Amino acid sequence: MRHTVHTTEKEETDITNNFGTLYHPKSALVFYETEGYNPDGYVEYFDIDRNGNPINAHPLTVREAQRLSKTLNIQNKKDKDFLRPSGIISENILFTDASDNGKVIWFTKSQERPLLFTEQLSIPNGLANVPPLVWCANKQGMKIFALENNQRPNAETPLFHAPFFNVYESGSVCMGTVDVNIKNSVSLEEFTEKWEDYFFNSYFSHLVNSHNPINGNCVNLWKNLIQSKEAFPTEVLINSNLTLKNLL
């Protein structure tokens, strides 16, 4: 089904992509209880017709109760699996919080990564070496910073501005049109992998609020690194005046 908003008599705007997963009502439960000091009660089950109206009222059967219990157990298992490691926790993981919104802090060593740039930047897409990075993400968004070396950071380790486009001075990443979809059942490893993929598989396009994250020209830096395949020059990094403990 296509959903549109009528803006004028001749113009329509498609808003289908603004919707998440659509759930349709199939059944409903009504709990009844008598008045008094020791009330009795029972549960009535309704089917829902195509128009959303309750029909076929009857007491809840054993089979329906079992189906409800199975559904609740499945959902409960998904919630418990959120950010659960699938094996031994990697030394790259620095902090985890599996509450509703979730939060993970991890770091990656300097490595070669494929980078994508919009045509306006006139930087060729390709492989380039990136510096060691610190990532801090929850279900909705992410911050990213750079490190001076590949050593595992501690709470007092200084963080440097990540030398990329599309990053605010605060470290928050402008995700643009990236469709971020982190499910409640995602493991710790899937969570970090997804965020790294979201970041490196989207197009770098601009400096946010004119924030230049390096000492020098950011466009020329990445042009040279993609052409030369040289190690990232950490001397161009700018201290953010934050340490890792500021992300905890």
CA dihedral 126, 127, 131, 136 (to 10 degrees): 70
What is residue 56's predicted lDDT score, i.e. its pLDDT? 83
Tokens of 164: 């990329």
C-alpha span between 158 and 24 (Å, rounded): 50
What is residue 66's predicted lDDT score, i.e. its pLDDT? 66
What is residue 127's predicted lDDT score, i.e. its pLDDT? 98
Query: What confidence tens digit (pLDDT) does each residue in 181-226 have?
Result: 998 889 999 999 999 999 999 999 999 999 999 999 999 999 999 9
Q: Which residues fall within 8 angstroms of residue 180, CB to CB, at 6 or more apart?
A: 139, 140, 141, 198
CA 236 to chain centre: 29
C-alpha span between 195 and 104 (Å, rounded): 10
Tokens of 228: 């030369």
Any bridge partners for residue 246, and if so which? none
C-alpha span between 13 and 31 (Å, rounded): 43
pLDDT of 73 higher than 70: no
Q: How many CA atoms lie within 13 A of 38 on its CB side?
A: 0
Residue 142 phi, psi dihedral angles, 5° rounding: -145, 150
What is residue 176's predicted lDDT score, i.e. its pLDDT? 85
Q: Which residues fall within 8 angstroms of residue 14, CB to CB, at 6 or more apart?
A: 2, 3, 4
What is residue 81's predicted lDDT score, i.e. its pLDDT? 78
C-alpha span between 190 and 87 (Å, rounded): 12
C-alpha span between 204 and 57 (Å, rounded): 56
Domain parsing of the chain, residue ranges: 23-81, 93-247
Strands laid side by side in the 103-108 sheet: 93-97, 103-108, 133-137, 142-146, 158-161, 239-243
* Predicted structure pTM score: 0.70
